[in-house]
Each structure stands twice: as structure tokens, then as C-alpha cells.
Amino acid sequence: MQLGVIGLGRMGRIVVDRVLDAGHDVVAFDLSEEAVAAAADAGAEPADSVADLADRLGDDKRIWLMVPAGDAVDATLDDLDPHLDENDVVVDGGNSHFEKSVRRAEACSAAYLDCGTSGGPAGAELGFSLMIGGPQWAYDEMTPVFDAVATGPDGHDRMGESGSGHYVKMVHNGVEYVLMQAYGEGFELLAEGRYDLDLESVSRTWNNGAVIRSWLLELCEEAFREEGTDLGDVDDHIAGGSTGTWTVQEALEQEVPVPLIYQSLAERFGSRADDRFSRRLANRLRYGFGRHEVARKDE
Ligand SMILES: NC(=O)C1=CN([C@@H]2O[C@H](COP(=O)(O)OP(=O)(O)OC[C@H]3O[C@@H](n4cnc5c(N)ncnc54)[C@H](O)[C@@H]3O)[C@@H](O)[C@H]2O)C=CC1
Ligand SMILES: O=C(CO)[C@H](O)[C@H](O)COP(=O)(O)O
């Protein structure tokens, strides 16, 4: 099979390498010439534009987008669409919002698969977990590519109609926030609590047979090993948050209670403000109702 890959960053490059390793051909394009040259060094055929990539693919095009979610996906689809017909398949493997994926699928001249991708850079060796939405025939057609990019046949499946792949990935990320928060709270208590503990040792011990072992816990072990048991100079600021926000918005719309996901998201937002207005007001209100002393900034 011949696959066009657009977007050759952390994730797209893994798609290229795994598809090449499985014996398929790859045509690769990125706005970054360095990224295209590196993919060519790995065995991909370089393209210098979206149109050039489409020309090199011939009929029955199979194309994987791995560009940042949002405008980059729309811009790429605008450039691609004049070259597409109903026999072609486009996969969006990024973290797009599921509703945008439904709209893009309706507008696209090709069959459109929304593909939630999980596994991060570790997927280079292990393969990814792929959650795919869209037409069954297009999923079947892309199966050799999904087998190569995922951990294997069990690492991908069609979740359902258009949008369902990115919907499942959105909820996956909400769960990811909660697990991170849960490990964070447990280790915070261990770090601040009454014993002088080596947290790398704790996480290694938990990772070997404990009920709460997991890949995220292995990443905790790696973090304590590389940064130290006090996490050294790692800041308490957590970036990101788009996929968790979407999960909470959808839960509100469906009237499904997700207090843990919301709380984990709020913790992220809270981490970005070191001078919280709500805390300052609560501090002042305690004076109002109880004449409790107000802590002042210069004290
Ligand atoms: N990094 C991660 O662990 C994961 C990322 N994702 C999703 O995968 C997608 C890609 O993420 P990364 O590879 O981490 O991003 P990245 O920033 O490492 O790579 C994106 C690449 O796309 C290229 N690009 C941007 N706009 C382009 C355009 N219009 N045409 C062609 N190339 C363009 C950039 O030059 C860059 O090489 C995102 O939607 C992200 O949310 C999903 C799961 C995990
Ligand atoms: O999808 C992912 C992991 O599963 C990506 O790492 C994504 O970039 C996380 O983004 P955010 O933390 O902003 O939701």
C-alpha cells in the first residue's frame, strides 16, 4: 500500500516509520523542510506541497493527517480537496474535536476517518491505540496501515459512525486527567506526610504487581528517577487542557456527572494562577464575618 502522510512532527514521524517498517510506501509532506528531509532519509518519498503529495499518490489515495488540531487540519483539507474523489480515504489522526470531524467528513470529497491516537512518543516502539470513526469500507481499506501504526490488530477498531473515534479519544483524555490527578495527590501525601520516602522506590514497588500499576505509574517512576524524589526544579504549572474541557462540556450537555474529570481540569487551570482572586476574597471575607485576621501580601 502507498500512504501519504501530512504532518511529520512527534506523532506523524512515528506513523511514517511504522508504515515503512511494515513494508508499505510513504509519501511525506510537512511545512518544515527539515521534517520532510528527515522522513526522506528514513525511506519516504518527499513531497514539497499538499498538491505534490496528491500527484505522487495517483488514484485511490490513502492519506493520514497528523498536523495540530484546528486550523492546520482545515487548511490541509482545503488544499487536498481539489485532488480527492469518493474512492480516496483521508484519516485525521490528531486530537480534533469530534463535531469538527463530523463537519469535515460531510464536506470532504473523500471518505473521512476520524482517528483518536493514544500512546504518545512511546508508540514508536510499541505502536499506538487507535479509535476510529467513519465509513466501514474506508476502515477496512485502511486496515493494513492501522495494523502497522497500532500495536497490532487488537490496537485499533472502528468505534462507529463519523465522529465516534475522536469522541472516544476525547473521553480517554478526560480519564487521563483523572489518573494523573490521582497519582499526583497520592504522591503529594507521601511527599508531605510523616515518613521520609523514596518515591521512585514506592512507584517501582507499586508497578510490580500492585492493583494501581499502569503506564502512567511507570512514567511517575521515570519522573522520580530522572528529576529526584522531590521533582527537583519541575514547576507546578500544568499546560494544555483543551481535550479535558471538551470532555466536561460534553458531559454537561449529556447531563452525565463527571466530577473527577472536572476537578482534574480545574486543578490544571488553578495551577496557572499563583495569585488566586477567590482565595484573596475568602481571606478577606473571614474578617468580614468573624473578624479573623487578614493575611496581607507583605507579611
Ligand atoms: N504528542 C502526543 O503525545 C500526542 C499528540 N496527538 C495529536 O497529534 C497531532 C500532532 O501532534 P504532534 O505530532 O505531537 O505535533 P507536533 O507539533 O510535534 O507536529 C506537528 C507537525 O505538523 C506540521 N504542520 C503544522 N501545520 C501544518 C500544515 N498546515 N501542513 C503540513 N504540516 C503542518 C508541523 O510543522 C509539525 O512538524 C495533534 O493533533 C496532537 O494533539 C495525539 C496523541 C498524542
Ligand atoms: O492526547 C494526548 C495524550 O493522550 C496528547 O498528549 C495531548 O496533547 C494532550 O493534550 P491536553 O493535555 O491539552 O489535553
Of ligand 2's listed atoms, the one at least distance from the Cα of 172 is 4
**How close is the Cα of 118 to the center of ligand 2, in Å?**
9
Mean pLDDT confidence for 232-249: 96
Mean pLDDT over the full length of the chain: 97
Tell whether residue 7 is among the known ligand binding residues: yes
Q: What is the pLDDT of residue 299?
A: 64
Provide φ and ψ at 64, rounded to 5°: -115, 120
For the entire predicted model, the pTM comes to 0.96
Task: Give the integer Cα–Cα distance in Å for 20 and 12.
Answer: 12
Contacts of 215-224 with CB under 8 Å at 24 or more apart are 215/122, 216/176, 216/179, 216/180, 216/183, 217/183, 220/183, 220/187, 224/198, 224/199, 224/200
Catalytic residue among 169, 200, 221, 250: 169
278 grid coordinates:
477567590
Global ipTM: 0.98
Question: How far is CA 149 from its chain centroid?
Answer: 15
Residue 73 contacts residue 65 (beta carbons within 8 Å)? yes
- In order, the DSSP letters of the chain are -EEEEE--STTHHHHHHHHHHTT-EEEEE-S-HHHHHHHHHTTPEE-SSHHHHHHHH-SS-EEEE-SPSSHHHHHHHHHHGGG--TT-EEEE-S---HHHHHHHHHH-SSEEEEEEEESGGGHHHH-BEEEEES-HHHHHHTHHHHHHHBSSGGGEEEEESTTHHHHHHHHHHHHHHHHHHHHHHHHHHHHHSSS---HHHHHHHHHTT-TT--HHHHHHHHHHHHH-TT-TT--S-----HHHHHHHHHHHHHT---HHHHHHHHHHHHHT-SS-HHHHHHHHHHHHHH-PPPP-TT-
Ligand 1 pocket, 120 CB below 6 A? yes
Ligand with the closest atom to the CA of 264: 2
Q: What is the mean pLDDT of residues 28-46?
A: 98
Q: Among 161, 176, 218, 267, which one carries the catalytic annotation?
A: 176
pLDDT in the model for residue 53: 98
Give pLDDT, residue 298: 81
**pLDDT at residue 278 in the model:** 86
- Look up cell 470532555; give the residue: 247
169 is a catalytic site residue: yes
Residue from 283, 284, 248, 288 nearest 265 by CA: 248
Q: Check pLDDT > 90 for residue 277.
A: no
Separation CA 201–CA 39 (nearest Å): 40
* Per-residue model confidence as pLDDT tens digits over 59-73: 999 999 999 999 999
Question: 118-139, pLDDT tens digit by residue?
Answer: 999 998 999 999 999 999 999 9
Ligand 1 contact, 129 CB (< 6 A): no
CB atoms within 10 A of CB 127: 20
Q: Over range 180-195, report the average pLDDT.
A: 97
Task: Give the Cα separation of 244 and 285 in Å (integer).
Answer: 32
For residue 239, pLDDT beyond 70? yes
Strand 129-133 and strand 156-160: the pairing is parallel
Among residues 96, 86, 103, which one has the least CA distance to residue 138? 86
176 counts as catalytic: yes
Q: Is 95 annotated as ligand-binding?
A: yes
